[in-house]
Amino acid sequence: MRHFINHTEENYLKAIYSLSQKPNQGVSTNAIAKSLDTKASSVTDMMQKLAEKGLVSYKKYYGVQLTSSGQLIALNTIRKHRLWEVFLVDKLSFNWDEVHEIAEQLEHIQSSELTNRLDIFLGNPKFDPHGDPIPNSQGEIENYHDTLLLSELEIGAFCTLVGVADSSSVFLKHLEKSQLKLGSEIRLINVFEYDRSLSIEVANIQRSISNRVADNLIVKPL
Amino acid sequence: MRHFINHTEENYLKAIYSLSQKPNQGVSTNAIAKSLDTKASSVTDMMQKLAEKGLVSYKKYYGVQLTSSGQLIALNTIRKHRLWEVFLVDKLSFNWDEVHEIAEQLEHIQSSELTNRLDIFLGNPKFDPHGDPIPNSQGEIENYHDTLLLSELEIGAFCTLVGVADSSSVFLKHLEKSQLKLGSEIRLINVFEYDRSLSIEVANIQRSISNRVADNLIVKPL
DNA sequence: ATATAATTTTAGGCTAATCTAAAAAATATA
DNA sequence: TATATTTTTTAGATTAGCCTAAAATTATAT
Ligand SMILES: [Mn+2]
Ligand SMILES: [Mn+2]
Ligand SMILES: [Mn+2]
Ligand SMILES: [Mn+2]
């Protein structure tokens, strides 16, 4: 009954999990292909394999959904990824924009003993350096509530930056240039009709950010 | 000119390096196959590939030798393996017999920045938990001198256990049962003709060990 | 409802890494 | 030296994961 899962399969399951969060049902072949930078035909092959292993339910032409065991593996991979990111930032002094690629490799190391000891060593962190919640060893994850995107905040409101929807290095470096980091207090001053750009106040300084940036900032209203 | 090296190639290079230590020249196809638990025909294929990449010099029917760039990769892989073993023991409190398999995975993570920061984080250790020297980032390794196998020590002599030639869990657990660990002071009392078994004294207690065990204990005479 | 477009699957191939069995070469033995 | 044994290489398959191109299916637009 216990199949072995390799890093390719872990990557597919993680991608499907991530795409399932936006709650349309049945993740499409094309969406997975785009997310993994591969071709739709390759995805179809893999979906048939994962379906045989009982990790996804797959109906031809209608996309896939994770089964509970598939979801558990996805969440465990995410757990490993985020714990390693914490390790890299907290212990090895990497910047938060440098850790994702390395964690993409480390997340595939197979040893639950290692993962759990790492968790303890790091002090059982609840969030990774990008504000993403870390699943526990049972695959339970804290769905952050009371949060929304900065682009959805109402004008005049105050909020705290608690997460980023894009962990790419180029985006994170861009944020740093605007003095934005996790925990920053932000006041939304205005949204301009023309290009949906936003005027915000951070650390007593007024700045302008694009709607593209605001769409990737997860905030908690104060 | 810079080729990418994957984990399969790293494993072959590491095996060739290790087999080169016993200084016969030209590592044989069969020896590599045995060391990697694969078939001679697979080894031949890979040797041709590694030769094309300039990582080994290969003469049909006469085995291979690492080139300097091949040796550098082998030593870097060994460096990563041993640093991760130190991490697992020193930081995550694993026992020395539990770390080898996990390090076999971690040694293939590709990021020199990670390796070097890990080295610093661990306090630039010179030896791994099994007493093996850790190459530096230039691939320089301290050849331990003044050491020999316990089976080669002369009767009556005192020594310190500084390394093990076998890192398997079963061997290391066996050592612990005999109160033997790195740093233990040992006096060789006698060697019995019949089965070449040894009588030793450790921590004021006299014990008997097999020649098989003594062949895997690296000691420094006092 | 039909035609067109988009998506998805299938068919057939490719590469890396492995295998078994057969052939070739080197080594050991008589 | 000639023969037997061992080692190594080659030939031909297999598998996972990927690809392109063509066919099938579903979705959209008149
Ligand atoms: Mn990440
Ligand atoms: Mn992250
Ligand atoms: Mn080891
Ligand atoms: Mn070791």
Residue B191 belongs to domain with CATH number: 2.30.30.90
Q: State whether A121 and B91 contact (CB < 8 Å).
A: yes
Tell whether A117 is within 8 A of chain B (Cβ). Answer: yes
Q: Is the pLDDT of residue A1 over 60?
A: no
Q: Which alpha helices (DSSP H) does chain B contain, by range?
A: 7-20, 29-36, 40-52, 68-86, 100-106, 112-121, 169-177, 211-214
8 A C-beta contact, residue B179 and residue B155: no
**Cβ-proximal residues to A120 (8 Å cutoff; 6+ apart), any chain:** none
Q: State whether B109 and A111 contact (CB < 8 Å).
A: no
Number of domains in chain A: 2
Residue B125 belongs to some domain of the structure: no
> For A184-220, how does the pLDDT look when each residue is reduced to its tens digit (9 = 90+)?
999 999 999 999 999 999 999 999 999 999 999 999 9
8 A C-beta contact, residue A86 and residue A54: no
Residue A49 belongs to some domain of the structure: yes
Measure CB to CB from residue B105 to each of A101, A110, A118 and give the nearest one.
A110
Work out the burial of residue A48: count CB atoms within 10 Å of its CB; fewer than 13 is exposed, 13-18 middle, 19 or more buried.
middle
Tell whether B196 is within 8 A of chain A (Cβ). Answer: no
Q: Is the pLDDT of residue A182 over 70?
A: yes
Q: Which domain holds residue B20?
A: 7-66
> For A70-81, how does the pLDDT look when each residue is reduced to its tens digit (9 = 90+)?
999 999 999 999
Work out the burial of residue A15: count CB atoms within 10 Å of its CB; fewer than 13 is exposed, 13-18 middle, 19 or more buried.
buried
Binned at pLDDT 50, 70 and 90, residue A144 comes out as confident
Measure CB to CB from residue A109 to each of B94, B105, B114 and give the nearest one.
B105
Instruction: Beginning with the edge strand found earlier in the chain, give each strand of the sheet holding B158-164 in spatial order.
Output: B148-149, B217-221, B158-164, B185-191, B198-202, B205-209
Residue A101 belongs to some domain of the structure: no
Q: Alpha-carbon dihedral of residues B90, A85, B107, B9, nearest 10 degrees?
A: 180
Tell whether B88 is within 8 A of chain A (Cβ). Answer: yes
Token representation of residue B165:
């030639």
Residue B210 belongs to some domain of the structure: yes
pLDDT at A44: 98
Q: State whether A110 and B106 contact (CB < 8 Å).
A: no
Query: Please, which residues 148-167 of chain A have a Cβ atom closer than 8 Å to chain B?
Result: none
SS3 A172: helix
Residue B173 belongs to some domain of the structure: yes
Footprint of strand D on the protein (CB under 7 A): A 6, 8-9, 38-39, 41-42, 45-46, 49, 61-62; B 28-31, 40-41, 43-45, 47-48, 58, 60-61, 63
Binned at pLDDT 50, 70 and 90, residue B2 comes out as low
Residues B82-120 as b or e (16 or more Cβ within 10 Å = b) = bbbbbbbbebbebebbbbbebbebbbbbebeebbebbbe
Domain boundary among B16, B33, B66: B66
Footprint of strand C on the protein (CB under 7 A): A 28-31, 40-41, 43-45, 47-48, 58, 60-61, 63; B 6, 8-9, 37-39, 41-42, 45-46, 49, 61-62
Residue A197 belongs to some domain of the structure: yes
Whichever domain contains A29, its CATH number is 1.10.10.10
Between CA B203 and CA A4 the distance in angstroms is: 45
> For B187-197, how does the pLDDT look when each residue is reduced to its tens digit (9 = 90+)?
999 999 999 99
Strand duo A205-209 + A198-202: pairing: antiparallel
Residue B61 belongs to some domain of the structure: yes
Domain boundary among B31, B66, B101: B66
Q: State whether A114 and B102 contact (CB < 8 Å).
A: yes
> For B9-45, how does the pLDDT look when each residue is reduced to its tens digit (9 = 90+)?
999 999 999 999 877 678 999 999 999 999 999 999 9
- Residue A76 burial (CB count, 10 A): 21
Binned at pLDDT 50, 70 and 90, residue A2 comes out as low
pLDDT at B1: 52
Interface test with B, best of A105, A112, A116, A122 (most B CBs within 10 A): A105
Residue B84 belongs to some domain of the structure: no
8 A C-beta contact, residue B16 and residue B27: yes
Q: Is the pLDDT of residue B201 over 60?
A: yes
Our CA angle for A65, A71, A74, nearest 5°, is 115
Domain boundary among B66, B93, B110: B66
